A = this chain, B = another copy of it.
Amino acid sequence: MKRFEEMNREELLVVYQQAQADYSAACSQGLKLDMSRGKPGIEQLALSDELLKLPALDQCNVDGIEARNYGVLAGLPSCRKLFAQLLGVQPDEVFVGGNASLTVMYDIIAKAFTHGLLHSNTPWSRLDKVKFICPVPGYDRHFAICESFGMEMITAPMLLDGPDMDKVEELIKDPSVKGMWCVPKFSNPDGMTYSEAVIRRIAKMKPAAPDFLLMWDNAYCVHEFDAQYEPIPDILGLCREYGNPDMAVEFASTSKITLPGAGVSCFACSLDNMAYFSKLIGAQSISYDKVNQLRHVLFLKDKEYTLAHMEKHAAILKPRFDIVLSKLDEQVEPLGIAHYFRPRGGYFVSLYAMPGTAKRVHALMKNAGVVMTGAGATYPHGNDPQDSNLRIAPSFPSLDELAKAMDVLCVCLRLAAAEKTLGK
């Protein structure tokens, strides 16, 4: 195979016609697949079968607390401890919330708007303009929160070791820049893990806004599928070390450890932040679902057991990522029409199609019966200035379906690139 850039027009026309034929054949398969979200597959759900049988009745009174009754706002001590182990923080830095870290993240930002944060001079709702730094490509649901609150999203590019900190350090000089999203490990969608140097640079930022909020979404803290578990540095400790003790709030959940939407979420923060948020949350809740917290403690036990459990997820996920990458390696890479990262954990493969073709590829895929995350979804307001990034979520389809979907994707990438190059 020749690279597109090495082909003359005649050769490109041959490729184009072949791609058209291949695409027609792909459409005639009548596929109906969804690769749009990082949704665990049915085999992964089965890994938590035992969870549904817990707790036994004689296990409901734990830590001297009756899990089935009201109370204990910040969560069962044993569940705070479990998350503390997973995040490398202290149990009293952990607040265990409801079923989803997305809700916890939204709520923390909502509190900034309605009440202000610990170091706010005024609630954000009283400000004319609130800006938030969004490393791109990033997670669409983070952007949706910003959008819902009318924040202005300022992008900073993701580099190979994390966000472009030269740019970030410039941006934070503006006091209306109030915070920043980070997915520090296996970032969504690129699957990149921030280097320690970048993490330290983040922790030592001196933003102009006294209430700058570092939203540290550690969604994939134990989610290696192709590597030994390796923790990232504790952001709370580093922020403390660099004189920003209250800047970061960290988030995690068991959504992709046990059952998505039926798991347990948490946030972790400084003790001063804990006191501040707990008081505010005290008006919102008597306690979160301690029976489900207990269920998870009994099932996941501790960090060691949880990591062993994650290896079972890895065994299911790795073959899926292998299919994605091998299909791209075989059919797309040699043509020089796209590049992509090779993640070792997380839920996505981030694919950069030929600039100006991502929306077209998405439409072609949809027409062929395969739903992908919307082109542009990884950018604020769905606007990818390069129209290039596509997020592949291989966890949900079966291996067979995934292989078919990837074949179609490769055809679509080829067709769209040929159209673009030929000016069709």
Contact = CB atoms under 8 A, between A and B. Distances in A.
Interface of A: 37, 39-40, 42, 45, 48-49, 52-53, 55-57, 60, 66-71, 98-100, 102-103, 106-107, 110, 113-115, 123, 125-126, 141, 144-145, 147-149, 255, 259-262, 280, 282-292
Contact of A114 (B45, B71, B125, B285): B125
Contact of A99 (B60, B98, B114, B283): B98
Given A40-B69, A55-B52, A261 B283 contact: no
A260 B69 contact: yes
Q: Which 4 A-B pairs have the closest CB atoms?
A: A125-B125, A262-B291, A148-B283, A106-B284
Contacts of A49: 57
B70 A37 contact: yes
A290 to B, nearest CB: 6
A69 to B, nearest CB: 5
Q: Which of A42, A69, A148 has the most CB of B within 10 A?
A: A69
B286 A102 contact: yes
Q: Which of A49, A126, A288 has the most CB of B within 10 A?
A: A288
B289 A261 contact: yes
B284 A261 contact: no
Contacts of A284: 102-103, 106-107, 145, 148
Given A52-B291, A125-B114, A262 B102 contact: no
A69 B45 CA distance: 8
Contacts of A290: 261-262
Nearest to A285: B103
Q: Which of A37, A283, A292 has the most CB of B within 10 A?
A: A283
A145 B260 CA distance: 30
Contacts of A292: 262, 289, 292
B280 A100 contact: no
A100 B286 contact: yes
Contacts of A280: 148
A339 B102 CA distance: 49
Contact of A113 (B66, B69, B100, B125): B125
Contacts of A68: 45, 48, 259-262
30 contacts: A48-B68, A49-B57, A52-B55, A52-B57, A53-B53, A67-B262, A69-B259, A70-B255, A70-B260, A98-B98, A99-B288, A99-B289, A100-B288, A102-B284, A103-B285, A106-B285, A114-B114, A114-B125, A126-B126, A141-B283, A141-B286, A145-B284, A259-B291, A261-B286, A261-B288, A261-B291, A262-B290, A262-B291, A262-B292, A289-B292
